[in-house]
Amino acid sequence: MEKAKAALIAAKSGVNVSSSNVNSTIANVPPAEAGVNAAKAHLWEVKKTYNRYQNLLKGHAITQAQFDAIKAEKEAAKAQLTTAQKRVAAIHKQVASSKEQVDASHAKIAIQQAAVDLAKQQLSYTVITAPVSGIASKRNIQIGQLVRPGQQMFAIVNTNHIYVTANYKETQLNDMHPGQQVTIEIDAFSDKKFKAHVSSFSGATGAKFSLIPPNNAKGNYVKVIQRVPVRIDFDSLSEEWEKKLIPGMSVKSIVKIAED
């Protein structure tokens, strides 16, 4: 990440340098164009003198040496104008080249920004967010240990919503339904009774979710009363009791199936 950020900063600095070069080169354009105008004016003046000397030479009013001198001055003025025009063209070309460098620097910034974004994305993969809040337990990793994809690192006990799973016999479910009042007694706190209610019934018996479910197709016809997990939610729990009640505690649930 730091390397990618440093490269991005360097790319942005390159843009600043290129932009500065463009501005300084553009600043040279007006003086160069002024030089062209001055060279044109000088050439125009020399040409007028040259034409006048040419007529004077025909009338033998001046010497050949004087005419040759003005002729040489005219050629020098032409050369000065050509040089000034080439200088202006070179400066414009330099401006165009500097602008291309700015565009290239902007493209480099885009590339380095993409590298920074990729580095941020890769860095985000190092943060593993738990699906629920709770207490980390059964830790299987140590600090500095490499983690493989799919490796179980630890278990999380969700303490945000405590509930009871009561395994009732299938023969007891006939008079039970969601919403019925339940009294919960917890072995760890025998002097306290909690009010709760039946929330829902499991979609299958506990045997169906066992490691090796029973298979009557093999000729086992011994009838065994099955247990059905029933979820019972507390009506209300204070923050103090939410901290005291730990998943896995033994409880006794009494369902009120008829009015007194």
Same domain, 19 and 112: yes
Which CATH number goes with the domain that contains 60?
1.10.287.1700
Band of residue 14 on the pLDDT scale cut at 50, 70, 90: low
Tell me if 81 is assigned to some domain. Answer: yes
Segment 104-133, tens digit of pLDDT: 777 777 777 788 888 888 777 777 788 777
User: Is the domain of 200 the same as that of 227?
Assistant: yes
Do 119 and 144 fall into the same domain? no
Q: For the segment 78-103, what is each residue's pLDDT rounded down to a tens digit?
A: 898 888 888 888 888 877 777 777 77
Structure-derived torsion over alpha carbons of residues 231, 164, 232, 193, reported in degrees to the nearest 10: 170
For 242, the 3-state DSSP assignment is: helix
Q: Is the pLDDT assigned to residue 253 strictly greater than 90? A: yes
pLDDT of residue 77: 87
**What whole-number distance in Å separates Cα of residue 12 and Cα of residue 42?**
46
Structure-token pair, residue 146 = 């490499």
Pair (107, 219) in one structural domain: no
In a domain, 260, yes or no: no
Domain range holding 237? 161-255
User: 159 near 134, Cβ under 8 Å?
Assistant: yes
User: Do residues 96 and 176 share a domain?
Assistant: no
Asked if the structure places residue 185 within a domain, the reply is yes
Assess if residue 46 is contained within a domain.
yes
Which are the contacts of 179, defined by CB distance < 8 A and separation ≥ 6?
197, 198
212 and 237 belong to one structural domain:
yes
Q: Examine residue 198 and state whether it is found in any structural domain, yes or no.
A: yes
Same structural domain, 137 and 222 = no
Core vs surface per residue 152-180: b (16+ CB within 10 A) or e:
eeeeeeeeeebebebebeeeeeeebeeeb
- Kindly state whether residues 148 and 106 are assigned to the same domain: no
| Domain count within the chain | 3
